[in-house]
Amino acid sequence: MRLILLGAPGAGKGTQAKALAKELSLPHISTGDILRKNVADSTELGKKAKNYMNKGELVPDAIVIGMLLDRLAEADTDKGFILDGFPRNLNQAKALDTMLTERNKQIDLVINLEVSEPVVITRLSGRLICSKCQAIYHKKNNPPQNDMVCDKCGGALYQRDDDKEETVRKRLEVYREEAQPLLDFYNDRGILLNVSADEEAGVVLDEIIRMLTSYNDSRKN
Ligand code: AMP
């Protein structure tokens, strides 16, 4: 199954994508994670991407599309994948489409996580991420047992540079500009599922799984 998770920053794409990847045994592909790894490793790609990311702007398509298509050429994606953070605009969606069509494949479903702005600000301003395994915590709602240490792997937790409130507002603005054409693109194909994502992660995950199950059942009939 080939899935895309859409939604504003802080909608929970990363959290849900990780949980779904485990549930469905599919690779979770996050362009944000790949970019952050390149920045941390100071690769050429990372050096080009860093300034855009720190300002909350999109990294140019010329960089991101090539990077994503390279990742999708890896063998573990043959059985399917879960995309998180890509596509971010119509141009990226069309590039993905062309690449999949060339391989006689298509996106099966696009899950759009709908979230309100106050929830986004609260989630992102308290978000902590493990530098080793990328597990996600929240200072108040889901704190680690030991301060700034990952419960799962012992890695150091950090706050993303772009989770500062003013950068979050910029990221939301960028999202709002690009999102609608993307939603229309997938809605016109009849593969868009809207899920309310203001609730806590477990509730949202249950709803997504319920929708995926009824989608699979309808395909069998
Ligand atoms: P994310 O982890 O998905 O919130 O992404 C963090 C940042 O990485 C974004 O604010 C962008 O600067 C950059 N980024 C991630 N995915 C993309 C993409 N598909 N296109 C352009 N920039 C991206």
- CA 43/CA 62 separation, integer angstroms: 16
d(C-alpha 17, C-alpha 111), whole Å: 10
Specify whether 79 is catalytic: no
Q: What is the pLDDT of residue 28?
A: 97
pLDDT tens sequence across 100-111: 999 999 999 999
* pLDDT for the residue 164: 86
Instruction: Decide if pLDDT at 220 tops 90.
Output: no
Phi, psi dihedrals of residue 116, rounded to the nearest 5°: -90, 155
* 11-25, 27-41, 164-178, 201-215, range with the lowest pLDDT: 164-178
pLDDT tens, 1-37? 999 999 999 999 999 999 999 999 999 999 999 999 9
What would the mean pLDDT of 131-141 be, rounded to a whole number? 92
Residue 171, SS3 per DSSP: helix
Residue 156 pLDDT > 80: yes
DSSP-assigned beta bridge partners for residue 149: 146, 156
Residue with CA nearest ligand 1 atom 1: 32
Kindly report the protein residue whose alpha carbon is nearest to atom 19 of ligand 1. Answer: 86
Give the helix/strand (H/E) hosting 82: strand 81-84
- What does pTM read for this prediction? 0.90
Distance of CA 73 to the CA centre of its chain: 19
According to the model, what pLDDT value does residue 127 have?
92
Count of Cβ atoms closer than 10 Å to residue 146 Cβ: 10
Measured distance CA(148)–CA(129) in Å, rounded: 9
pLDDT value of position 208: 96
For ligand 1, atom 15, name the residue with the nearest CA: 32
| pLDDT band per the 50, 70, 90 thresholds, residue 91 | very high
pLDDT band of 219, cuts 50, 70, 90? confident
- Rounded to whole angstroms, the Cα distance separating 182 from 14 reads 19
Residue 9 beta carbon below 6 angstroms from any ligand 1 atom: yes
Given 2, 36, 71, 171, which residue is catalytic? 171
What is the pLDDT, as a whole number, of residue 166? 84
Active-site annotation holds for 176: no
Alpha carbon 178 to its chain centroid, in Å, reads: 15
